[in-house]
Structure 1
Amino acid sequence: MPVNETILRVTISFLVLFLLARLMGRKEIGQMTFFNWASAIGIGSIAGNLAVNESTRIKDGVIALIVWTLFTMAMDMIDLKSKQGRTVTTGEPLIVIKEGKIMEGALKISRVDLDELQALLRQKDIFSLIDVDYAILETNGDLSVLKKESKQAVTKNDLNIMCPKKDLFPLPTEVISDGKINPGNLSKLHLDKNWLDIELQKAGVHSAEDVFFAQVQKDGTLYIDRKNK
């Protein structure tokens, strides 16, 4: 392949890849799901093939890059707009430790063994399972950990003279996402839609469709983030 053609191919491949990467957003490596990671590798492979493989026509390589990127962006839009679609494309966080007990079924589903779990805990500066109240394996493979109260760091609020109220729920729980109520989570908290409607009315919200995100806190209060702020 002539040098001039090589330079042209590399230049086109670089510019197209740069523009498409800007269009796809600024998600960091640690925030990427397995699909995002695999898709990025696919785009990189097509760009590399376009740059050095003379049997691949420049037009075909550019079209392949654009179409692959459009598919990836379509999947991202599904993630943003549909709770059900997000469950299919990226999965859901899994509780792997609940109230200090290891959830063996969740570990099997996520294909994480005990050694990997302990390694993830050590990355959070936790070297004993006895210190953990809840641990949740996120869709990007990261582990979120809630330590037991006796092992948590002291905060300014902890030093308040007033006696803290007893928590009603073990974890903050999402009940509305992008205007849609999550009846499953309400049921787990032994709450219903009537309770949710009353709490929304107290906050001056007339419909769940006006709420972007709502979360029941550990003390039973409702955090509300409205749409179109």
Structure 2
Amino acid sequence: MDRILTTSIRTLIGFVLLLILTRILGKKQLSQMTIFTYITGIALGNIAGDMVVHRDIKIIDGFTGMTLWALLTLLIEYISLKSSKARVLLNDEPTIIIKKGKIMKKAMVAEKLNLDDLTMLLRNNNVFSMADVDYAILEPNGELSVLKKEEKELLTKKDANVQIHYSRYIPTELIVDGKIVEKNLKEEHIQKEWLIDQLKMNGIHSIHEVNYAELQMDGSLFVDKN
């Protein structure tokens, strides 16, 4: 019983500390992560895991290790933010893989890319023929940015002289599970009275009847009843 209690306490401490440190480090989507930030996340998780499982590691040692690692990561991020040279050294820089329709073999070798890798990355950008590419740039996070040849670009509304209607809003959820999302109302400067009126127009007289309601780009309301 003491063993379970001790493990539970160590797990709780490790979980809370890991949550706090990751919030302090800031948020980056997986697609935006560099190799350094990815490894940092793994390292913090490993330290927290070792602190929980290995009884010979004191909680204060795990706490110190995780905190110091997070502080060093913040320091590196700050240095790279202030210095472009340090940013290139720490995070690498974009590499041109295809230039003016020609594959840069030296760049491919330097980035340890083969043609199968390149074609896969192109397909991820909805490009299925190398002949369509003018420029392709490998970003520090491993993603490929592609610029198609002008004649291969899709026709836009502007090119076709189609009248463009600009959006008033971005789609925003206003009611979820029968509850109003107050924060979103404030951000979009929407009055609760307007929302209730819109619901009445849809034959709904109680918010609890609504499963989901979303503000549309044109200012109308999409409603899904329970």
What TM-score comes out, normalization by structure 1 length?
Answer: 0.68
Following the alignment from structure 2 to structure 1, what is the Cα–Cα distance between the partners of residues 160 and 124? 28
SS, match of residue 159 in structure 1: coil
1:220 paired residue number: none
Q: Identical aligned pairs, as a percentage? A: 43
Following the alignment from structure 2 to structure 1, what is the Cα–Cα distance between the partners of residues 104 and 14? 47
1:158 paired residue number: 159
Q: CA RMSD in A?
A: 1.3
Following the alignment from structure 1 to structure 2, what is the Cα–Cα distance between the partners of residues 42 and 30? 19
Q: CA deviation at 1:160?
A: 4.9
Gaps of 5+ in 1: 162-229
Q: CA deviation at 1:73?
A: 1.0
1:216 paired residue number: none
Map 1:113-128 → 2, pairs under 5 A = 113-128=114-129
Instruction: Report whether the alignment pairs 1:57 with 2:76.
Output: no
1:25 paired residue number: 26
Following the alignment from structure 1 to structure 2, what is the Cα–Cα distance between the partners of residues 13 and 105? 45
Q: CA deviation at 1:156?
A: 2.6
What TM-score comes out, normalization by structure 2 length?
Answer: 0.69
Q: CA deviation at 1:159?
A: 3.0
CA deviation string 1:24-76 (max 9, x = no partner): 11101111011111111111000000111101000000000000111111111
Gaps of 5+ in 2: 163-226
Instruction: Report whether the alignment pairs 1:149 with 2:147.
Output: no
1:219 paired residue number: none
Q: CA deviation at 1:149?
A: 0.8
1:94 paired residue number: 95
2:40 paired residue number: 39
SS, match of residue 159 in structure 2: helix
Structure 1 ranges of 4+ moved more than 6 A = none
Q: Residue 39 of structure 1 aligns to which amino acid in structure 2?
A: T
Following the alignment from structure 2 to structure 1, what is the Cα–Cα distance between the partners of residues 48 and 39? 14
Q: Residue 36 of structure 2 aligns to which amino acid in structure 1?
A: F
